[in-house]
């Protein structure tokens, strides 16, 4: 029994050491290791934090050592949880988690899991998250306390280990040794995470002050209504936002084939009906998610890349594209937001006189993955409720298309416009579609289904223009952001395509100076603007003198 206890004790110590070691050395971008890099490059490292803590514990008396070990264990647990969150953010959003500004994103994640995977998936996910967080925190405290006690009993060996580890770290750091680019054997990843978490607080305060200056600098704030959008009077102007429609969808060789074929065919179909298109690129403030950040950036002309900026924007009175149309009194402004399943007070900020959400579009069919309403049905509902109404005023609308929202399964298919009805027919399509659980077993299948979703949405939009469009239609189509790294990789840009489609050549004359590519597909060298530049360029082009600029 004595031998068994000793074996168990050494096993417990080894497990504690392993837990602390892994927590310290695994980088928060472990899922983004360069292609071909060995997995062990992420863990064959010497953590400077362990060296520093061991040195502190060796010089403290017993009682102080126990208290310090408890505090350090709790700190390690908190930082490890933050690192795990970071890993998730890099995997999905291609950026690190901001511990000051990003907490509201968890509510969006909650809704995404609920709507995509149902109550069982949500409960399982929440249970897993809670167990993991509690386990990491408790395990870290117990592990550090145990290692502190072992260190106290084996002081000589601990001092020898400290000297060896210190020398090894210094030599490896000076040599810059690494087995994968950017992942050095002399590790300081936890210290870097601690520093970044601490400096995020003053950085958030500085960003708030910078945002206040930016949002207050508005060249169009005092523009008389008669001067706004004079070049579009009498036109129906629709801003169509295509979820996850990124540059990779039209240029990445592994994705773009079906999309570019559709865009080529769609350009010809539109031309046959008298429509022309011009296309370029915008750089989105987000990637992988956070669509509302892109929408607000596009509409407001202010760079919105975090929740603090978004909340500050929508609580103010900044002129947006749609509120500019409303300000003139010459357009009826409409927001069509099928992804909304809850109250959306921001609609008044954007200047919408009418907002249609998932509850008010009359849809009686099933949800497709996260998407509550298929895009083709959304277009038909907009047509019946607004666009085809006799004697109406010109429309200025934003329509957000959500069928291309992750997880891209199951998917609807394009159907005869005349038989859509209340959407009940989609029940059969949903039953025949692939499940998200099945698709997400293989990254190659995820990429394939993503491409199909973009083709479906754009095909629906082109079909709608050729079926219902009139001579006064001006349609601006843009992507909100690139999809997650599982689709486009870790080094994809934040660029998204943007196109303007119109039946009136005079509209294109006003944007001739933009240098955009003819057709629906922007050329690789087409102009790239920050997304927040679009508002002012659009208001300038279609102002009273825009035709001459």
Assign 3-class secondary structure to 349-394.
Answer: HCCCCEEEECCCCCCCCCCECCECCCHHHHHHHHHHHHHCCCCCCC
DSSP per position, 413-479: ----GGG-TTSTTHHHHHHHSPPHHHHTT-HHHHHHHHHHHHHHHHHHHHHHHHHH--TTEEEEEEE
For residue 71, the number of C-alpha atoms closer than 13 Å in the C-beta half-sphere is 9
> For residue 292, what pLDDT is reported?
95
Rounded-to-integer distance, Cα 512 and Cα 535, Å: 17
Please determine, for residue 269, whether its predicted confidence score (pLDDT) is greater than 90: yes
Average pLDDT over every residue of 12-38: 81
Tokens of 84: 């795990």
Average pLDDT over every residue of 97-115: 80
Tokens of 135: 């386990």
Q: What is the largest CA-CA distance in the chain?
A: 93
Q: Is 278 helix (H, G, I), strand (E, B) or coil?
A: strand
> For residue 264, what pLDDT is reported?
97
Residue with tokens 């509209």: 507
379 against 547, higher pLDDT: 379
394 against 185, higher pLDDT: 394
> For residue 5, what pLDDT is reported?
82
518 against 43, higher pLDDT: 518
> For residue 367, what pLDDT is reported?
94
Q: Is 240 helix (H, G, I), strand (E, B) or coil?
A: strand
Please determine, for residue 359, whether its predicted confidence score (pLDDT) is greater than 90: yes
For residue 359, the number of C-alpha atoms closer than 13 Å in the C-beta half-sphere is 6
The least confident of 6-20, 88-102, 231-245, 430-444 is: 88-102
The least confident of 4-8, 34-38, 307-311, 361-365 is: 34-38
Question: Percent of the chain at pLDDT above 90?
Answer: 64
> For residue 399, what pLDDT is reported?
98
pLDDT band at 34 (very low <50, low <70, confident <90, very high): low
Rg (the chain; Cα; Å): 28
> For residue 426, what pLDDT is reported?
97
Please determine, for residue 159, whether its predicted confidence score (pLDDT) is greater than 70: yes
pLDDT band at 548 (very low <50, low <70, confident <90, very high): very low
Residue with tokens 């930082």: 79
Tokens of 520: 């629906």
Quick check: 336 and 382 in contact, CB under 8 A?
yes
> For residue 182, what pLDDT is reported?
76
Average pLDDT over every residue of 176-180: 84
pLDDT band at 93 (very low <50, low <70, confident <90, very high): confident
Please determine, for residue 547, whether its predicted confidence score (pLDDT) is greater than 60: no
Please determine, for residue 117, whether its predicted confidence score (pLDDT) is greater than 80: no
Angle between the N-to-C axes of helices 62-93 and 189-216, in degrees from 0 to 180, rounded to the nearest 10: 50
Please determine, for residue 53, whether its predicted confidence score (pLDDT) is greater than 50: yes
Nearest to 152 by CA among 71, 64, 74, 73: 64
Please determine, for residue 36, whether its predicted confidence score (pLDDT) is greater than 80: no
Tokens of 403: 């069928």
Quick check: 288 and 484 in contact, CB under 8 A?
yes
Q: Which domains does the chain have, with CATH numbers?
A: 2-204 (no CATH), 225-548 (3.40.720.10)
> For residue 546, what pLDDT is reported?
66
Q: Which residues contact 157 (CB under 8 A, 6 or more apart)?
A: none
What pTM, to 2 d.p., does this model score?
0.85
Q: In the predicted model, what is the mean pLDDT of the chain?
A: 91
Average pLDDT over every residue of 270-276: 97
């Amino acid at each position: 029994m004595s031998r068994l206890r000793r074996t168990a004790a050494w096993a417990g110590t080894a497990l504690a050491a392993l837990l602390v070691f892994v927590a310290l050395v695994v980088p928060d971008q472990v899922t983004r290791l360069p292609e071909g890099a060995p997995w062990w490059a992420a863990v064959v490292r010497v953590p400077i934090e362990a060296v520093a803590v061991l040195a502190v514990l060796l010089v403290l008396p017993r009682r102080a050592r126990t208290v310090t070990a408890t505090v350090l264990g709790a700190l390690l647990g908190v930082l490890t949880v933050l690192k795990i969150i970071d890993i998730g953010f890099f995997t999905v959003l291609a950026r690190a988690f901001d511990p000051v500004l990003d907490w509201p994103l968890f509510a969006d994640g909650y809704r995404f899991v609920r709507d995509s995977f149902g109550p069982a998936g949500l409960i399982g996910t929440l249970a897993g998250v809670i167990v993991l967080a509690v386990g990491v925190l408790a395990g870290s405290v117990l592990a550090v306390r145990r290692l502190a006690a072992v260190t106290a009993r084996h002081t000589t060996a601990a001092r020898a280990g400290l000297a060896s580890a210190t020398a090894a770290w210094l030599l490896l750091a000076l040599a810059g040794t690494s087995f994968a680019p950017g992942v050095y054997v002399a590790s300081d990843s936890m210290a870097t995470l601690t520093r970044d978490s601490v400096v995020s607080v003053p950085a958030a305060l500085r960003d708030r002050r910078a945002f206040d200056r930016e949002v207050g600098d508005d060249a169009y704030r005092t523009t008389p209504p008669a001067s706004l959008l004079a070049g579009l009077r009498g036109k129906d102007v629709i801003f169509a936002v295509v979820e996850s429609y990124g540059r990779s969808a039209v240029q990445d060789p592994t994705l773009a084939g079906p999309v570019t074929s559709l865009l080529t065919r769609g350009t010809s179909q539109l031309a046959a009906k008298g429509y022309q298109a011009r296309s370029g690129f915008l750089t989105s403030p987000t990637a992988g998610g956070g669509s509302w950040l892109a929408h607000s950036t596009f509409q407001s002309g202010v760079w919105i890349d975090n929740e603090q900026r978004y909340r500050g924007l929508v609580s103010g009175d900044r002129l947006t594209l749609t509120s500019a149309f409303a300000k003139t009194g010459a357009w009826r402004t409409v927001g069509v937001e099928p992804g909304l399943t809850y109250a959306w007070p921001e609609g008044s900020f954007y200047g919408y006189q009418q907002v249609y959400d998932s509850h008010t579009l009359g849809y009686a069919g099933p949800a497709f993955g996260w998407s509550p309403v298929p895009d083709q049905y959304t277009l038909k509902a907009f047509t019946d409720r607004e666009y085809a109404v006799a004697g109406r005023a010109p429309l200025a609308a934003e329509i957000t298309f959500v069928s291309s929202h992750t997880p891209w399964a199951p998917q609807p298919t394009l159907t005869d416009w005349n038989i859509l009805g209340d959407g009940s027919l989609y029940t059969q399509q949903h039953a025949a579609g692939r499940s998200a659980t099945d698709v997400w077993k293989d990254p190659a299948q995820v990429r394939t289904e993503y491409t199909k979703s973009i083709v479906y949405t754009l095909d629906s939009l082109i079909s709608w223009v050729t079926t219902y469009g009139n001579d006064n239609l001006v349609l601006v189509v843009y992507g909100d952001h690139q999809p997650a790294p599982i689709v486009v990789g870790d080094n994809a840009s934040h660029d998204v395509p943007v196109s303007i489609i119109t039946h009136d050549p005079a509209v294109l004359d006003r944007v001739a100076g933009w240098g955009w590519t003819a057709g629906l597909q922007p050329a690789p060298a087409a102009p790239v603007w920050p997304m927040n530049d679009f508002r002012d360029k659009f208001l300038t082009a279609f102002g009273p003198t825009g035709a001459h600029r």
